[in-house]
C-alpha cells in the first residue's frame, strides 16, 4: 500500500459512524463508475489508461523525447488547463522547481499558451534567441485561444529560424486523433502527432501524451510513472472503506463538506509539490464546482505559507480543512553543521537532518491547526519518485470521480468554463458573436 491515510487528526470532527453511514453511497458511486452508466460516462478512459494505453505511441513518445534532447536546448510546451498543468507539475515534482536552472543533459522546458500576457510571451521568446528549440503544441480541441495564439508566434519563429522543412521536424502536436484545427494543420504540414483519446478529459489527461512527452523530455522515467498508476488502479479497485484509502479520502472530504468545511487546502512541505497542488486544484475545482455545489480547492506549501496564511488557518473563519501530503523519505538529504561559536543559537540542531526539522514543523503544525478547529487528513507516501507520482495521480483522479458522484454532480464536464470565452470573443469582435458585443459593451460602459 503506497499511500497511508492517517485520520487521527479528524477526532472531534468526524465520527466513526458517519463513515459507515456513507459506505452505501460510496458503494453506489463505485458501482456507477464500474458500470460506466453515470453522468459523464463517455469520459472514463482514464480509469484503465495505466494498463490500457497505446504501447506503440508510448515508444514514439520516448523516441521523440530523445530526438528533442539531441537537437534542442529548449523545448517550448504550449497548452492550458488540462493540456498544461499535469506535465509541468510532474516535471517540477520529479526534477525540481529550479529544473531549468540546474545542470543537466536534457532541454530547458518553458510552458506558454497558459495565459494571454504579452509580457510573459516576450520573455519566453527571448529565451529561444540563438538557441535551438522545438515546440510541443497540446490542445485537445485544437481551437483554444491561448495556446493557438502562442503556437502562431512560435511556429513563425521556427520557420524564420529553420525554414518550413526544418520547422516541420521540430513541431510535435498532441491533439485529437481525427478532429480540430490543430489536427488538420498537422496533417497538412506533416507534423508528428500524438493522440489525446476521446474518452479522456483534459484534467484527467496527464498520463496520455499530453503529459508524457514533456515529462519524458525532462528525463523522467515514464515507464515507472505508468507502473505507479497501474499499481494504484489495482489497489483501489475494491470498494472497502477500511482498505481503500482513495475511497476513504473521498468519503471523508464529503463528510467534512456537509459540516460546513467548504474549503480544502492541499498542503505539502516540499516546494517541488506546489505545481502538483495546482494540478489538483484544476482536477477537483473543474470536476466538483458546479450546480452551486463543491469544495473550493486551494493549496499551500508549508512552512513557507505558515508565514503568510498561517494566521488565517490558525485563527480565521473556520471554513477549511487540510489534506497534508507527507513523504517519509526526502528526495535529498541535508545535514546541518555544528558551529562552535553558536552565534545564531542554533546548535540544538547541530548534525540534525533538515528533513527531521521539516517533519517536526509538520507535527507541530498539524496539532496547532487541529486544536484551532481545522480538521486534517494526512496522506503519507514513502517518497516522491516516478512510481509514487503515478500512484498519487491515479489516487486523486479516482477519489475525484467517487467524490463527484457522492456530491451528485457530473465530475467529467465543465460547462462553466465557456462563459468567459463567449464574452471575450464577443468583445474582441470574433465573427459570429456580434449580437452579444453591444450588450457587453453597455455593461462595461464602453
Ligand atoms: O480540463 C479541461 O477540459 C480544460 O482545462 C482543457 O484542458 C483546457 O481548456 C484546454 O483545452 P484544449 O486541450 O482543448 O486546448
Chain segment 286-310, per-residue pLDDT in tens: 999 999 999 999 999 999 999 999 9
DSSP letter at 109 equals E
Distance between CA 389 and CA 327 in Å, rounded?
A: 11
Ligand 1 pocket, residue 196 CB under 6 Å: no
Give the pLDDT confidence of 75-100 residue by residue, as tens digits. Answer: 999 999 999 999 999 999 999 999 99
User: What average pLDDT is seen over the chain?
Assistant: 96
Catalogue the active-site residues. 286, 307, 421
Give the pLDDT confidence of 99-135 residue by residue, as tens digits. Answer: 999 999 999 999 999 999 999 999 999 999 999 999 9
Ligand 1 pocket, residue 201 CB under 6 Å: yes
Ligand 1 pocket, residue 140 CB under 6 Å: yes
Residue 194, SS3?
Answer: strand
- Residue 264: the pLDDT is 98
Atom of ligand 1 nearest to the CA of 146: 15
Please give the grid coordinates belonging to residue 181: 484545427
Distance between CA 446 and CA 330 in Å, rounded?
A: 55
pLDDT for residue 47 is more than 70? yes
Residue 230, SS3?
Answer: helix
Ligand 1 pocket, residue 180 CB under 6 Å: no
- Residue 169: the pLDDT is 97
Atom of ligand 1 nearest to the CA of 414: 3
Closest among 319, 309, 322, 323 to 262, alpha carbons compared? 319
- 1 band by pLDDT with thresholds 50, 70 and 90: low
Give the pLDDT confidence of 414-434 residue by residue, as tens digits. Answer: 988 888 988 999 999 999 898
Distance between CA 298 and CA 266 in Å, rounded?
A: 6
Cα–Cα distance list, 404 to 33, 92, 118, 247, 289 (Å): 11, 28, 37, 12, 9
Burial state string for 361-384 with b = 16 or more CB within 10 A and e = fewer than 16: ebeebbeebbeebbbbbbbebeeb
Please give the grid coordinates belonging to residue 286: 473543474
- 158 band by pLDDT with thresholds 50, 70 and 90: very high
Give the pLDDT confidence of 238-284 residue by residue, as tens digits. Answer: 999 999 999 999 999 999 999 999 999 999 999 999 999 999 999 99
Ligand 1 pocket, residue 203 CB under 6 Å: yes
The rounded percent of the chain whose pLDDT value lies above 90 is: 95
Q: 386: CA distance to ligand 1 center in Å?
A: 24
Distance between CA 433 and CA 26 in Å, rounded?
A: 44
Cα–Cα distance list, 45 to 58, 80, 175, 398, 420 (Å): 16, 20, 15, 12, 28
Q: 176: CA distance to ligand 1 center in Å?
A: 12
Q: 341: CA distance to ligand 1 center in Å?
A: 57
Q: 195: CA distance to ligand 1 center in Å?
A: 14
Amino acid at each position: 500500500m503506497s499511500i497511508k491515510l492517517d485520520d487521527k487528526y479528524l477526532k472531534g470532527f468526524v465520527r466513526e459512524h458517519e463513515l459507515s453511514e456513507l459506505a452505501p453511497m460510496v458503494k453506489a458511486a463505485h458501482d456507477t463508475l464500474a458500470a460506466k452508466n453515470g453522468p459523464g460516462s463517455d469520459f472514463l478512459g482514464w480509469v484503465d489508461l495505466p494498463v490500457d494505453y497505446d504501447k506503440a505511441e508510448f515508444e514514439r513518445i520516448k523516441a521523440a523525447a530523445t530526438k528533442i534532447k539531441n537537437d534542442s536546448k529548449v523545448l517550448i510546451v504550449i497548452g492550458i488547463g488540462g493540456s498544461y498543468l499535469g506535465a509541468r507539475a510532474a516535471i517540477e515534482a520529479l526534477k525540481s522547481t529550479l529544473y531549468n536552472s540546474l545542470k543537466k543533459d536534457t532541454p530547458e522546458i518553458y510552458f506558454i499558451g497558459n495565459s494571454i500576457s504579452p509580457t510573459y510571451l516576450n520573455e519566453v521568446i527571448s529565451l529561444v534567441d540563438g538557441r535551438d528549440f522545438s515546440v510541443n503544441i497540446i490542445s485537445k480541441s485544437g481551437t483554444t485561444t491561448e495556446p493557438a495564439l502562442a503556437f502562431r508566434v512560435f511556429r513563425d519563429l521556427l520557420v524564420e529560424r529553420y525554414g518550413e522543412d526544418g520547422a516541420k521536424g521540430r513541431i510535435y502536436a498532441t491533439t485529437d486523433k481525427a478532429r480540430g484545427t490543430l489536427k488538420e494543420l498537422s496533417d497538412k504540414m506533416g507534423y508528428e502527432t500524438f493522440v489525446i483519446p476521446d474518452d479522456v478529459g483534459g484534467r484527467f489527461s496527464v498520463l496520455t501524451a499530453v503529459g508524457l512527452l514533456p515529462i519524458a523530455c525532462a528525463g523522467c522515467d515514464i515507464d515507472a510513472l505508468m507502473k505507479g498508476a497501474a499499481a494504484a488502479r489495482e489497489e483501489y479497485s475494491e470498494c472497502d472503506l477500511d482498505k481503500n484509502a482513495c475511497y476513504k479520502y473521498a468519503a471523508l472530504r464529503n463528510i467534512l463538506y456537509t459540516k460546513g468545511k467548504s474549503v480544502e487546502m492541499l498542503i505539502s512541505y516540499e516546494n517541488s509539490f506546489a505545481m502538483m497542488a495546482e494540478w489538483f486544484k484544476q482536477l477537483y475545482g473543474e470536476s466538483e464546482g458546479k450546480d452551486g455545489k463543491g469544495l473550493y480547492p486551494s493549496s499551500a506549501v508549508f512552512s513557507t505559507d505558515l508565514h503568510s496564511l498561517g494566521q488565517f488557518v490558525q485563527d480565521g473563519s473556520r471554513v477549511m480543512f487540510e489534506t497534508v501530503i507527507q513523504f517519509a523519505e526526502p528526495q535529498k538529504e541535508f545535514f546541518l553543521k555544528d558551529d562552535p561559536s553558536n552565534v545564531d543559537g542554533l546548535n540544538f540542531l547541530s548534525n540534525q537532518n533538515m528533513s527531521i526539522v521539516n517533519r517536526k514543523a509538520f507535527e507541530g503544525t498539524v496539532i496547532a491547526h487541529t486544536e484551532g478547529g481545522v480538521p486534517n487528513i494526512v496522506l503519507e507516501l514513502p517518497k516522491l519518485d516516478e512510481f509514487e507520482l503515478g500512484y498519487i495521480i491515479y489516487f486523486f483522479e479516482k477519489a475525484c470521480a467517487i467524490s463527484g458522484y457522492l456530491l451528485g454532480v457530473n465530475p467529467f464536464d465543465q460547462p462553466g468554463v465557456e462563459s468567459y470565452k463567449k464574452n471575450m470573443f464577443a468583445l474582441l469582435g470574433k465573427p459570429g458573436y456580434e449580437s452579444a458585443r453591444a450588450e457587453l459593451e453597455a455593461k462595461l460602459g464602453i
